[in-house]
Amino acid sequence: CAINKDLYSFSVCKRCIRKMDHHCPWVNNCVGENNQKYFVLFTMYIALISLHALIMVGFHFLYCFEEDWTKCSSFSPPTTVILLILLCFEALLFLIFTSVMFGTQVHSICTDETGIEQLKKEERRWAKKTKWMNMKAVFGHPFSIAWLSPFATPDQGKADPYQYVV
């Protein structure tokens, strides 16, 4: 890492990471150039599934409210209400947290500035590109439905096309 100024050394991950953004305890890994797409998709999908859970809880609550409470759950009505409120709170908490993380990551990609650079007010070590070029650099070129895929594909410009970057 001392030789190549584009790499960032991090003691927890015990390796050099290019364009390191942060260390994420959720995935127990450092987020950098090679896995930022997957972290962004992870936060986006968790936010979407949290929104889905919130909507489903709302519909279930309305169903229970309109029907007889004993028909909508095998639990007693007070227990059902408490469980629905707890689930609603958990879904809302995850929705807010992962939406903020998702927005922060997309902003970092668009501004071509890592989280570490933002915190340390460091100047970037690479040439500034347009937002569209930054998105293509993270998610792949050209734009396609593969941008939403959490599965690794051969990295065309950097490695042997028969090896997958993980």
Q: What is the mean pLDDT of residues 94-106?
A: 95
What rounded mean pLDDT belongs to the chain?
A: 80
The dihedral built from the CA positions of residue 112, 18, 36 and 23, taken in this order, carries a sign that is negative
pLDDT at position 157 over 60:
no
Q: What is the mean pLDDT of residues 5-30?
A: 73
The neighbouring-strand residues paired with 10 are: 15
**Cβ count within 10 A of residue 56:** 12
Active-site entry in 1, 13, 16, 24: 24
Contact 97, 43 (CB under 8 A): no
The yes-or-no answer on residue 24 being catalytic is: yes
pLDDT at position 159 over 60:
no
Q: Report the number of secondary-structure helices (H) and strands (E) in the chain.
A: 5, 4
Each residue's pLDDT tens digit, 62-92: 888 887 777 777 778 788 889 889 999 999 9
Measured distance CA(31)–CA(48) in Å, rounded = 21
From the list 94, 76, 96, 98, the residue with the least C-alpha distance to 86 is 94
- Beta-sheet strands, E only, within the chain: 7-10, 15-18, 22-24, 29-31
